[in-house]
């Protein structure tokens, strides 16, 4: 996969188009990498719009998500990867992010992975659909970090479009807690005591910026 996103290394023998799910995901990773690199040490203990995490914990979660994407692309179980990476020495988040991006690139370089069913924590999906959902997760958490640290990233329009389409298809606007409770008994054991992963969607105008509409659907207040 060859891409212009510097945070997502390119292999030597495969080229994909700009609308390939892997190229779109790579651009989300690149934006996240720029935001991560700009976090100052004194900002690491700040709260974030993601209520469960401060900035340091959210950076650890982002690295964990990217590692999960690599494991999923390799045919593994996402639940085998910790929610928060706790092995990043000295707050070396950019280095950890780039290393995880290398892992993703290697795991997803084969075109066949886009059609293959892969295992996510909640369900199984074709690789392309899974990657679109992870594009949403990476982008929303990038917004969380950027908001907490006073950054204004240059959001990629196609990344936002793909992320929004994926989360709208996979997550209704309301009734999320009830839906989660209804499926709790069928979840893997490790998730049966987890709280619902998304708040209800927040209402924003149709003319709101695309990033605001995306994070609002994910339960944030832009």
pLDDT tens digits for 138-179? 999 999 999 999 999 999 999 999 999 998 887 766 655 655
What percent of the chain clears pLDDT 70, i.e. is strictly above it?
81
Residue 176 has a pLDDT of 56
Residue 122 has a pLDDT of 76
Reported pTM: 0.86
Rounded to whole angstroms, the Cα distance separating 62 from 50 reads 12
Q: Residue 90 region, left (φ>0) first, then alpha (ψ -120 to 50), else beta?
A: left
CATH of 21-171, one of 2.40.40.20, 1.10.260.30, 1.20.120.450, 3.90.1150.10: 1.20.120.450
Contacts of 125 (CB under 8 A, 6+ apart): 117, 118, 133
Residue 147 has a pLDDT of 98
Higher pLDDT, 65 or 124: 65
Locate 198 and state its tokens: 């998304």
Task: Name the residue ranges covered by the structural domains of the chain.
Answer: 21-171
Of 29-33, 53-57, 79-83, the range with the lowest mean pLDDT is: 79-83
Of 31-45, 58-72, 115-129, 136-150, the range with the lowest mean pLDDT is: 115-129
Report residue 194's pLDDT band, with 50, 70 and 90 as the boundaries: low
């Amino acid at each position: 996969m060859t891409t212009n996103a510097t945070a997502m290394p390119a292999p030597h023998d495969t080229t994909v188009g700009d609308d390939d799910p892997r190229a779109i995901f790579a651009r989300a990773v690149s934006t996240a990498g720029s935001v991560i690199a700009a976090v100052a040490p004194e900002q690491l203990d700040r709260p974030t719009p993601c209520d469960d995490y401060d900035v340091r914990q959210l950076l650890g979660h982002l690295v964990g998500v990217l590692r999960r994407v690599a494991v999923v692309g390799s045919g593994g179980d996402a639940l085998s990867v910790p929610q928060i990476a706790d092995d990043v020495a000295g707050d070396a988040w950019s280095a950890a992010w780039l290393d995880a991006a290398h892992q993703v690139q290697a795991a997803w370089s084969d075109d066949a992975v886009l059609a293959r069913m892969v295992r996510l924590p909640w369900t199984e999906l074709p690789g392309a659909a899974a990657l679109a959902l992870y594009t949403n997760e990476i982008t929303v958490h990038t917004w969380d970090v950027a908001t907490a640290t006073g950054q204004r990233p240059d959001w990629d329009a196609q990344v936002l479009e793909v992320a929004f389409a994926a989360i709208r298809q996979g997550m209704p606007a309301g009734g999320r807690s009830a839906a989660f409770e209804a499926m709790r008994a069928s979840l893997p054991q490790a998730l049966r005591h987890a709280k619902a992963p998304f708040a209800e969607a927040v209402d924003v105008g149709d003319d709101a910026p695309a990033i605001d509409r995306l994070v609002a659907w994910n339960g944030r207040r832009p």
